[in-house]
Amino acid sequence: KAGVTQTPRYLIKTRGQQVTLSCSPISGHRSVSWYQQTPGQGLQFLFEYFSETQRNKGNFPGRFSGRQFSNSRSEMNVSTLELGDSALYLCASSPEVAAGTEAFFGQGTRLTVV
């Protein structure tokens, strides 16, 4: 069974630009979550989607948005990039949203903003 696939693996963008990251969950998984990982803040929850609906969002500005498609694939978008948005963005998928369900992580997209 293929794991969680994130594309691209690496990105370099300029301040003020926008970026879209993609995540394909494990086949059959309907829940997709996104996390931002930085050396200073560690791993922080961005948002979670289930059946094309955003269930919750972390404490991030409105420049961060996402969506989920009918095939459970998800994208996240960051507009008006800032230097502080440089991070590893991790996507995780789960078969359901039941309590205690484990999340399976992709390898991440390394975003560098210059």
Partner 1 sequence: AQSVTQLGSHVSVSEGALVLLRCNYSSSVPPYLFWYVQYPNQGLQLLLKYTSAATLVKGINGFEAEFKKSETSFHLTKPSAHMSDAAEYFCAASGGGADGLTFGKGTHLIIQP
Is residue 11 within 8 A of residue 110, CB to CB? The reply is yes
Closest CA to 69 of 103, 16, 30: 30
Question: Which residue is listed with tokens 């086949």?
Answer: 27
Residue 43 in the binding site for partner 1 (CB under 8 A)? yes
Contacts with partner 1 in 49-88 (CB under 8 A)?
Answer: 50, 55-56, 58
Among the residue ranges 12-20, 37-45, 62-70, 74-82, the one whose residues contact partner 1 (CB under 8 A): 37-45
> Looking at beta carbons only, is 14 or 59 nearer to partner 1?
59
Backbone angles phi, psi at 100, to 5 degrees: 85, 0
Tokens of 55: 């269930």
Would you give the distance in Å from CA 97 to the centre of its chain?
17
Residue 1 in the binding site for partner 1 (CB under 8 A)? no
Residue 107 in the binding site for partner 1 (CB under 8 A)? yes
Report, in Å, the least distance between residue 16 CB and partner 1: 27
Is residue 56 within 8 A of residue 46, CB to CB? The reply is no
Report, in Å, the least distance between residue 60 CB and partner 1: 12
- 23 forms beta bridges with 6, 74
Site of interaction with partner 1 (CB under 8 A): 4, 6, 33, 35, 42-48, 50, 55-56, 58, 90, 92, 97, 99-100, 102-108, 110
